[in-house]
Chains A and B, each alone.
Chain A
Amino acid sequence: MNITKNIHEWLFSLMPETTASIVEMVLIAVVYLAIFAVAGLYLVLLERRVAAWFQLRLGPNRVGYQGLLQTMADALKLVSKELTGTLKADKFLYNLAPYFVIVTALMAMSLFPFTKELHAFDINIGIFFLIAISSIGVIGILLAGWSSNNKFALIGAMRSGVQTISYELSVGLSLLTMVLMTGSLQLSQIVEVQEKGGWLIVQGHIPALIAFCIYMIAGTAETNRAPFDLVEAESELGAGFHTEYSGMKFAYFFLAEFINMFIIASIATTVFFGAYLSPFGITENIPLLGVFWFLGKTLLLIFLMMWFRWTFPRLRIDQLLVLEWKYLLPLNLMNLLLMALMVLLGLTIQF
């Protein structure tokens, strides 16, 4: 984009090359951090309004127009709160844990193509990098559960570990099914393939649809949301792994959960629904509208995940594991073979 190009040239004319590139990186990181915070806060508000809507209530609507400032006020309150902790907690790990969750979520954010130009980090292993990063996030949860020296937190963390390790497989395999059609892991190239031949979910019809369903189920499980929220099952575990966290540290976990939901929805948007591409190319000559399409599709998918949350009852831990290992995984492997066969025989729909 023009603005970023201008800033880039201005920075490099002002400073020596090394300093300028460092300053540029810091600036990009700050911008993404701001997006991160705002997106997190407004997703919390959206969740509360959607929940209220499903339960025939009004939800937060007093602070600002239609409650738009409610979560900002909540955040200010959380900043001013006292940080408490248990007596025999492992202080070092206890303080470290939220950062694992936050940093991995932030790193994953940088990979998404919001428009053709607005794309911070286009690495050639794109999707694989996303999967690798998301597998580290669970360490933060495990650490939080163990170091707070609380049995409910510990049980929550153990459940989270089991759940994330299992469902990571399904997320990876269903994305791999789609990669078969693009022939590349790089996100910009995945979008390029869709620009030529239509969105991947249309191109790959039946197997792509199956892969999308599996991806959404596994993605919901990986973000520890209902109906897979055994990690923080309120009725049995208090608040799960973050029982002992308060104030801003709790807010980190809370924000990271919503950002992870955003990330799962964004990956689905990029891989299945053509990222910033408009339907039938109606706004093809206004590239800036890509942000609108990207966010629109992502918000639709997020709404779908919220719909899951307020519709389905929670699963038991054995049902959760049976669902993954006995149903999703074999289905996924067969689907992968089916897709490979289809790509080989040229049965995909091409425009």
Chain B
Amino acid sequence: MEKILFYILALIMIVAAIASVTSRKMLRSVIYLLFVLIGVAGIYFLIDYNFLAAVQLTVYAGGIIVLVIFSVLLVHHIEMELEMAKLSKKIITAIACLVGLGVFLATIYSTNFNVVENSKTTTVEDIGRGLLSYDAGGFILPFEVISVLLLAAMIGAIIIGKGDKLTKNDDTL
């Protein structure tokens, strides 16, 4: 049963990924990418990482894809098509992709994977305690560093967005 589900998900993801890079319509590529991301979430569900799967759905499928669709809506017209690349570029890209694929396959086939006997569902409570604990194996430092990074990104976005209105005395806002 799980095997069948895995193969169905894998097939969807591979087909969607190929369609995503070959499609000449921008929004269609984005939607194929969405299918790939949902497929990844499905695989997380399959291995019982429920929380990670929901994060994948919220952040990637719900957040990033919506933003990408938004920017496509702003800059792209429905009749426009992406141009085809030159032959030389195509060949170089194909070689690069094949090399990358080769490296991946070689690594995967040279590693011995251990089969985990008893799969256990990670609960949200475990994740929360892990994120906020400062004992060994806790993630409080990376957690705090990421929040500082996000704050910096937000301030940067506000400054770029407001432009020189910040320096001038602007009493409209």
Q: Give residues in A with beta carbon < 8 Å to B.
A: 18, 21-22, 88-90, 92-93, 96, 123-125, 128-129, 131-133, 135-136, 138-139, 142-143, 145-147, 149, 154, 157-158, 161, 165, 183-185
CB proximity of A190 to chain B, nearest CB, Å: 13
B121: chain A residues within 8 A (beta carbon): 124
CB proximity of B128 to chain A, nearest CB, Å: 10
Q: Which of A90, A124, A157 contacts B78 (CB 8 A)?
A: A90
B69: chain A residues within 8 A (beta carbon): 139, 142-143, 146, 161
Q: Is the CB of A139 within 8 A of B66?
A: yes
Q: A131-B58, A184-B124 are in contact. List 11 more A-B contacts (CB 8 A).
A: A93-B27, A123-B50, A124-B50, A124-B121, A128-B51, A132-B57, A139-B34, A142-B69, A143-B31, A147-B27, A185-B124
The contact sample of 22 A-B pairs, CB cut-off 8 A, is A21-B1, A92-B28, A124-B50, A124-B121, A125-B124, A128-B51, A128-B58, A129-B54, A131-B58, A132-B57, A135-B57, A135-B63, A136-B62, A139-B65, A142-B69, A146-B73, A146-B78, A158-B73, A161-B66, A165-B66, A183-B125, A185-B124
Q: Is the CB of A125 within 8 A of B50?
A: yes
Q: Is the CB of B58 within 8 A of A132?
A: yes
Residue of B25, B55, B57, B58 ringed by the most chain A CB atoms within 10 A: B58
Give bound CA distance, A149 to B77, whole Å.
9
Give bound CA distance, A18 to B125, whole Å.
33
Q: Is the CB of B51 within 8 A of A125?
A: yes
Chain B residues 53-84 with CB under 8 Å of chain A are 54-55, 57-58, 61-63, 65-66, 69-70, 72-73, 78-79
Q: Give residues in B with beta carbon < 8 Å to A.
A: 1, 25, 27-28, 31, 34, 50-51, 54-55, 57-58, 61-63, 65-66, 69-70, 72-73, 78-79, 121, 123-125
Q: Is the CB of A136 within 8 A of B54?
A: no
Say yes or no: A88-B62 contact (C-beta < 8 A), given A93-B27, A96-B31, A133-B57.
no
CB proximity of B67 to chain A, nearest CB, Å: 8
Give bound CA distance, A92 to B70, whole Å.
19
Closest 9 CB pairs of A and B: A135-B62, A132-B57, A132-B58, A132-B54, A125-B50, A149-B78, A128-B54, A142-B69, A18-B1
Give bound CA distance, A147 to B66, whole Å.
15
B48 to A, closest residue via Cβ: A124
A88: chain B residues within 8 A (beta carbon): 78-79
Say yes or no: A147-B78 contact (C-beta < 8 A), given A90-B28, A125-B51.
yes
Q: Is the CB of A142 within 8 A of B70?
A: yes
Give bound CA distance, A184 to B25, whole Å.
44
B78 to A, closest residue via Cβ: A149
Give bound CA distance, A128 to B51, whole Å.
8
Give bound CA distance, A93 to B32, whole Å.
11
Residue of A135, A165, A184 ringed by the most chain B CB atoms within 10 A: A135
CB proximity of B57 to chain A, nearest CB, Å: 4
Give bound CA distance, A253 to B65, whole Å.
21
B54: chain A residues within 8 A (beta carbon): 125, 128-129, 132
Give bound CA distance, A143 to B27, whole Å.
9
A96: chain B residues within 8 A (beta carbon): 31
B78: chain A residues within 8 A (beta carbon): 88-90, 146-147, 149
Say yes or no: A90-B73 contact (C-beta < 8 A), given A21-B1, A124-B50, A135-B63.
no
CB proximity of A212 to chain B, nearest CB, Å: 23
CB proximity of A31 to chain B, nearest CB, Å: 21
Give bound CA distance, A85 to B31, whole Å.
20
B65 to A, closest residue via Cβ: A139
A129 to B, closest residue via Cβ: B54
CB proximity of A84 to chain B, nearest CB, Å: 17
CB proximity of B27 to chain A, nearest CB, Å: 6
B72 to A, closest residue via Cβ: A146
Give bound CA distance, A138 to B125, whole Å.
29
Give bound CA distance, A92 to B32, whole Å.
12
B66: chain A residues within 8 A (beta carbon): 135, 138-139, 142, 161, 165
Give bound CA distance, A184 to B125, whole Å.
8
Q: Which of A123, A125, A154 contacts B73 (CB 8 A)?
A: A154
A147: chain B residues within 8 A (beta carbon): 27, 78
Give bound CA distance, A159 to B25, whole Å.
23
Q: Is the CB of A128 within 8 A of B124?
A: yes
Give bound CA distance, A73 to B57, whole Å.
38
